[in-house]
């Protein structure tokens, strides 16, 4: 495209995230959206509402997302000549992706890059966010040239930042005990059927895990993989689940554990409840010490990764 095409509206940068309730009153609507097409029983609603109550009555995800977006935009704008404008769209709560797309059209955006704040691609996650962009364009009868970031699970900044978290977790134990510390790397489970469908999610997670373990200098027997946070549906989900995995490790005499979720990029309910409360309870039962270093949040290495993958997509549009 010629430079004249770029005059006028800035280039849009659409950041997408899962979305989270801003209060407990939002829970029925939020869950109805996540579990679209399936009935949410009162028992499931009560259980999940109670999880959110225990982490402060709302999701910290929108706030972390805004902070990540602000930090990334500062870095990206410093690297890119064209004026940029950031937009935030959530998959399961407001601000909705479709509304962000409408706002972009109202602003006259004709070119944009889009990224999901989740490093691993799946037809059940990243692809669904991208479909919502297309739905937003189609319901508003608009067109924007989009470049999509599909995944960034092997980027060096992301890998190094998580390897640093692993080391930080191990260093929380007294020096003489560190050789006995076992590291559990984990990510959100998905239904087992994704494997038959050729979905890359599980392979990408394992690739990230191997890179992170190597960058942290872990021995092969010093770390293992586990899924967490499986949904409440009757079909089989990828395992082992964190709880059963901890029982297994305990059976092998492992009593010092560092838990580093690699598929989430900020501290939200799947970490603050599923690990910091539920897995800590399991650890206490098993006489295990479990250390969970903070998620990436606005770690400069991670923000640098987001800026780099976006910069490459901006270049592809120019
Ligand atoms: C890779 C896929 C998924 C990621 C990443 C993910 C992140 C994520 N999830 C929540 C909160 C909930 N997720 C729930 C269900 C659920 N999550 C996924 C996939 C990912 N979630 C699926 C496929 C499902 C099942 C949907 C269904 O049809 O039931 C739920 C609902 C309760 C439940 O089913 O257990 C919640 C709540 C957060 C906060 C999050 C963060 C990025
Ligand atoms: Fe979940
Ligand atoms: Fe989920």
- List C-alpha distances in Å: 26 to 59, 64, 286: 10, 19, 35
Q: What residue owns the CA closest to ligand 1's atom 4?
A: 188
pLDDT in tens, 49-85: 999 999 999 999 999 999 999 999 999 999 999 999 9
Q: How confident is the model at residue 3 (pLDDT cuts 50, 70, 90)?
A: very low
pLDDT in tens, 254-280: 999 999 999 999 999 999 999 999 999
Q: How confident is the model at residue 7 (pLDDT cuts 50, 70, 90)?
A: low
DSSP H or E segment with residue 148 = strand 145-148
CA-based end-to-end distance of the chain: 7
Is residue 302 lining ligand 1, measured as CB closer than 6 Å?
A: no
The answer to whether the predicted template modeling score (pTM) of the entire model surpasses 0.90 is yes
Q: Which ligand is nearest to the CA of 48?
A: 1
Strands of the 256-261 sheet, one edge to the other: 223-228, 182-188, 256-261, 289-291
Please say whether the dihedral angle defined by the alpha carbons of residues 209, 210, 216 and 219, taken in this order, is positive or negative: positive
pLDDT in tens, 280-308: 999 999 999 999 999 999 999 999 999 99
Number of neighbouring beta carbons within 10 Å of residue 47: 11
Please say whether the beta carbons of 311 and 76 come within 8 A.
Answer: yes
Q: How far is the CA of 3 from the centre of ligand 2 (A)?
A: 44
pLDDT at 4 > cutoff 90: no
Is residue 263 lining ligand 1, measured as CB closer than 6 Å?
A: yes
Is residue 48 lining ligand 1, measured as CB closer than 6 Å?
A: yes
Please say whether the beta carbons of 272 and 60 come within 8 A.
Answer: yes
Q: What is the mean pLDDT of residues 19-46?
A: 93
pLDDT at 175 > cutoff 80: yes
Q: What is the mean pLDDT of residues 36-52?
A: 93
Is residue 268 lining ligand 1, measured as CB closer than 6 Å?
A: yes
pLDDT at 1: 44
pLDDT in tens, 76-132: 999 999 999 999 999 999 999 999 999 999 999 999 999 999 999 999 999 999 999
The predicted complex's ipTM stands at: 0.91
pLDDT at 2 > cutoff 60: no
Q: Average model confidence (pLDDT) for the chain?
A: 96
Q: Mutate which of 58, 229, 261, 271 to test ligand 1's pocket (most atoms within 8 Å of Cβ)?
A: 229
DSSP 8-state symbol, 108: T
Q: Which residues pair with residue 153 across a beta bridge?
A: none
Number of neighbouring beta carbons within 10 Å of residue 230: 18
pLDDT at 37: 77
The alpha-helical segments, DSSP class H, found in the chain are 27-34, 42-54, 61-79, 97-106, 126-139, 156-171, 193-196, 201-215, 242-251, 269-272, 280-286, 300-317
Please say whether the beta carbons of 262 and 209 come within 8 A.
Answer: yes
Q: What residue owns the CA closest to ligand 1's atom 13?
A: 231
Is residue 38 lining ligand 1, measured as CB closer than 6 Å?
A: yes
Residues whose CB is less than 8 angstroms from the CB of residue 71 and which lie 6 or more positions away in sequence, other chains included: 298, 300, 303
Phi-psi region of 186 (alpha: psi -120 to 50; beta: other; left: phi over 0): beta
pLDDT at 5 > cutoff 60: no
pLDDT at 283: 98
More confident residue, 77 or 3: 77
């Amino acid at each position: 495209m010629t430079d004249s095409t770029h005059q006028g509206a800035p280039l849009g940068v659409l950041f997408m995230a899962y979305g989270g309730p801003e209060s407990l009153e939002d829970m029925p609507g939020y869950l109805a959206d996540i579990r679209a097409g399936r009935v949410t029983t009162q028992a499931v609603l009560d259980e999940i509402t109670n999880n959110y109550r225990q982490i402060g009555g709302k999701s910290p995800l929108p706030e972390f997302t805004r902070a990540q977006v602000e930090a990334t935009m500062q870095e990206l704008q410093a690297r890119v000549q064209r004026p940029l404008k950031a937009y935030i769209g959530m998959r399961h709560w407001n601000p909705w992706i479709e509304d962000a797309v409408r706002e972009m059209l109202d602003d006259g955006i004709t070119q944009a890059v889009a990224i999901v704040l989740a490093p691993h691609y799946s037809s059940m996650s990243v692809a669904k966010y991208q479909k919502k962009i297309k739905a937003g364009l189609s319901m508003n009868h608009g067109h924007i040239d989009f470049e999509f970031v599909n995944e960034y699970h092997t980027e060096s900044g992301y890998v190094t930042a998580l390897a640093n978290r692993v080391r930080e977790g191990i260093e929380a134990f007294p020096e003489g005990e560190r050789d006995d510390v076992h590291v559990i790397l984990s990510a959100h489970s998905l239904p087992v059927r994704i494997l038959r469908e050729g979905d890359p999610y599980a392979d990408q997670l394992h690739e990230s895990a191997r890179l992170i373990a190597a960058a942290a200098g872990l021995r092969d027997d010093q770390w293992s993989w586990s899924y967490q946070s499986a949904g409440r549906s009757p079909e089989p989900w990828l395992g082992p689940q964190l709880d059963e995995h901890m029982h297994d490790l305990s059976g092998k005499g492992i009593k010092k554990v560092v838990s580093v979720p690699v598929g989430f990029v900020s501290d939200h309910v799947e970490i603050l409840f599923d690990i910091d409360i539920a897995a800590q309870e399991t650890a206490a039962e098993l006489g295990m010490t479990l250390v969970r270093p903070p998620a990436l949040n606005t770690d400069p290495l991670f923000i640098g990764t987001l800026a780099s993958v976006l910069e490459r997509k901006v270049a592809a549009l120019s």
